[in-house]
């Protein structure tokens, strides 16, 4: 049995999950919380493991790579409207309502018309409508505010 632990739990809770409910794998989500909390949980799980003299697996869930856009001239970012064209490029000049740096040439080179890019952990969606040397022209499909260093992802393998 597998249990996902995102918070700090007492050894009694880990004991119940392991001994009574049969958990034999605990997932520690390193995307949330402090490393000291994860160390505390690890110590608790290992103490329960020692008490029952039976191995307990710990799965450390690490955050995947983050692709971030550059910065904007406006400290509040820019609002992009559905249907507008927005450029992602390699120019490190602060962004505007029309463009921003995407400091990942491998994404720009691999992108094709029709590919989709998600911004701000998927809150906004762009569709590539044109490509060129060092840039992608995109249509805003799902509107929203884009700010400095927001995360982007794409629907292709690089």
Q: Is 79 in a helix, a strand, or coil?
A: strand
pLDDT for 158: 40
pLDDT for 131: 97
- In SS3 terms, 20-57 reads as HCCCCEEEEECCCCCHHHHHHHHHHHHHHHHHHCCCCE
pLDDT for 156: 55
pLDDT for 149: 81
pLDDT for 94: 97
pLDDT digit string (tens) for the chain, length 158 residues: 554 444 445 556 666 666 656 778 888 888 777 888 888 888 888 888 888 888 889 888 887 667 789 999 999 999 999 999 999 999 999 999 999 999 999 999 999 999 998 888 788 999 999 999 999 999 999 999 999 987 666 665 44
């Amino acid at each position: 049995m597998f249990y996902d632990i995102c918070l700090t739990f007492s050894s009694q809770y880990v004991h119940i999950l392991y001994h009574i409910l049969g958990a034999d794998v605990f997932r520690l989500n390193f995307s949330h919380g402090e490393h000291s909390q994860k160390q505390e949980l690890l110590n608790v799980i290992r103490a329960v493991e020692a008490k029952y003299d039976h191995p307990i697996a710990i799965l450390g869930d690490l955050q995947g790579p983050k692709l971030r856009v550059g910065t904007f001239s406006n400290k509040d970012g820019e609002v992009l409207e559905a249907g507008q064209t927005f450029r992602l490029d390699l120019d490190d000049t602060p962004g505007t309502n029309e463009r921003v740096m995407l400091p990942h040439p491998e994404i720009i080179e691999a992108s094709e018309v029709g590919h989709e890019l998600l911004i701000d952990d998927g809150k906004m969606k762009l569709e590539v409508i044109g490509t060129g040397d060092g840039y992608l022209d995109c249509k805003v499909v799902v509107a929203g505010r884009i700010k400095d260093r927001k995360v982007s992802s794409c629907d292709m393998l690089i």
